[in-house]
Amino acid sequence: MNNGEQRRLNGEAEEDEEEDDANNGGLAAWERAYADERSWESLQEDESGLLQPIDNQSLKHAQYRRRLRAASTARIQKGLIRYVYIVIDLSKAAAEMDFRPSRMGVVAKHVEAFIIEFFYQNPLSQVGLVTIKDGVAHCLTDLGGSPNSHVKALMGKLECSGDSSLQNALDLVHGYLEQIPSYGHREVLILYSALSTCDPGDIMETIQKCKKSKIRCSVIGLSAEIFICKHLCQETGGLYYIALDEPHLKELILEHAPPPPAIAEFAIANLIKMGFPQRAAEGSVAICSCHKEAKVGGGYTCPRCKARVCDLPTECRICGLTLISSPHLARSYHHLFPIVPFDEVSPSLLIDQQNKFPRACFGCQQSLLNPGNKPSLRVACPKCKQHFCLDCDIYIHDSLHNCPGCESASHSKIPNANKG
């Protein structure tokens, strides 16, 4: 390599470094690390003017309990059989990097978590995926009850291009959801990145069609508030929020996992015919009605027409019978009879009567005392009066759906009744 070529290469390297510095706002590497982590947001000023780290656990628990009280203030009938389409905006706006690594990457990660959580809380429901790209809406997956198939299809189609068309997406999901039986609750969750919509016709007419078909449309925006999205949610009874950052986006998406209040027309009691299929023998060979191909072992057999299906819950492609299993019904039970919120124990009461209260959490048996034997925050069940830590409180209401203190008390009464 001669001196001329070496000087040219060095000059190109210096130009690349100057471009990188310009893109990063002239910040040094150590400054960019602090700017990315935004560590100053985790500090707060106390009464004496000193900086202290924010107690994120207490803030999270307080926010959780406010949401829990709001949900338990009234007895509301909820829709347990939901048909939900998730519409993901994959236009060129989804490639923006204000969310790291990009809006598309963050949305895909949290949609995957939402699908898993959705089927855990709604075992009788079904989900479908729709993407918007190049002004056209594409159906990635039909309505179904298999979270793995939805996640696999989404991760294989993560490409951004073109403009977004809200009307085309609404027309597509309206055609699918209009065929849903009257007992099913029709919902659309739109994750929208663009600041505009490029539509082929009058979107107001499409919104009215969705409203007439009782389709509840909710939108989570990743940029700024848009009038047409707000109007869509107001007309159809949905929710419209703008995500401020990634944790806020995750919280907004997961808020749609629990069943929403039922629409008045759907609040009438209905008898739904369902089948409980048996699992096929491992060595048997049959043609799967879902994928229309021969499969060996596994799957389930429809009790009415003896067709083979892969996953539950689903609807038989041959006879149309809704197929579920008994654990799916059991997991839906807690939405009908939710566990009551626990009462917060007053700190002043803990200090005055410290010796009368238990020193360990009844659930995890961890100490409820801080260093120096100072009592920490705790809650108590209003029925059995047992004390729990904040983590167990969230776990009991979100996952377990049974109070360990009440359950142990009821089991202890059974032997005594037998002796009597």
Of the two residues 363 and 183, the one the predictor is more confident about is 363
pLDDT band of 289, cuts 50, 70, 90: confident
Q: How many residues does the chain have?
A: 420
Read off the pLDDT band of 21 (50, 70, 90): very low
Q: Rounded mean pLDDT of 46-69? A: 62
Higher-confidence residue of 163 and 290: namely 163
Neighbours of 97 (CB within 10 A): 10
Here the tokens at position 248 are: 């806020």
Average the pLDDT over 289-305 and give the result: 83
**Cβ burial, residue 264 (10 Å; 0-12/13-18/19+):** exposed
**Segment 347-390, tens digit of pLDDT:** 777 666 656 788 899 999 998 887 767 777 888 999 999 999 88
pLDDT in tens, 307-343: 888 888 888 888 988 888 888 887 777 767 778 888 8
In DSSP notation, 311-351 reads SSSEE-TTT--EE--HHHHHHHHHHHSPPPPPEEPPHHHHH
Mean pLDDT of the chain: 81
Are the beta carbons of 188 and 87 closer than 8 angstroms? yes
Q: Pick 8 or 292 by higher pLDDT.
A: 292
Q: What is the pLDDT of residue 22?
A: 46
Residue 417, pLDDT above cutoff 90? no
Q: Tell me, what's the pLDDT at 72?
A: 54
Q: Is the pLDDT of residue 19 over 60?
A: no
**How many helices (H) does the chain have, and how many strands (E)?**
13, 21
3-state secondary structure of 80: coil
Q: Is the pLDDT of residue 249 over 70?
A: yes
Closest to 213 (Cα-Cα) out of 240, 191, 187: 187
Q: What is the pLDDT of residues 188-230, one digit of tens each?
A: 999 999 999 999 999 999 999 999 999 999 999 999 999 999 9
* Phi/psi at 387 (5° precision): -100, 145
In the prediction, which pLDDT does 25 show? 53
pLDDT on residue 13: 47
Token pair listed for 377? 């925050």
Portion of the chain with pLDDT greater than 90, in percent: 38
What 3-state DSSP class applies to 296? strand
- The predicted model scores a pTM of 0.76
Per-residue model confidence as pLDDT tens digits over 142-181: 998 889 989 999 998 889 999 999 999 999 999 999 988 8
Structural Rg of the chain based on CA atoms: 27
Most confident of 216-225, 277-286, 287-296, 367-376: 216-225
Return the pLDDT at 64.
62
Reported as type and span, the H/E element at residue 220 is: strand 215-221
Evaluate if residue 17 carries a pLDDT over 90. no
Residue 405 is predicted with a pLDDT of 92
- H/E run at residue 20: helix 3-23
CATH topology of domain 78-266: Rossmann fold (3.40.50)
Angle subtended by helix axes 103-121 and 246-254, to nearest 10? 30
d(CA 311, CA 290): 9
In one-letter notation, the amino acid at residue 372 is G
Domain boundaries, the chain: 78-266, 278-336, 343-412
1 Cα distance to chain centroid: 58
pLDDT number for residue 73: 46
Instruction: Check pLDDT > 60 for residue 184.
Output: yes
The C-alpha atoms of residue 124 and residue 145 are separated, in whole angstroms, by 8
State the pLDDT at residue 310.
Answer: 84
Count the helix, strand and coil residues of the chain and give each as a percent rounded to the nearest 5.
40, 20, 40
C-alpha to C-alpha distances, 1 to 16, 173, 251, 257, 297, nearest whole angstrom: 21, 62, 57, 63, 65
DSSP 8-state class, residue 399: I
| Domain boundaries 343-412, corresponding CATH code | 3.30.40.10
Per-residue confidence band for 20, with pLDDT thresholds at 50, 70 and 90: very low
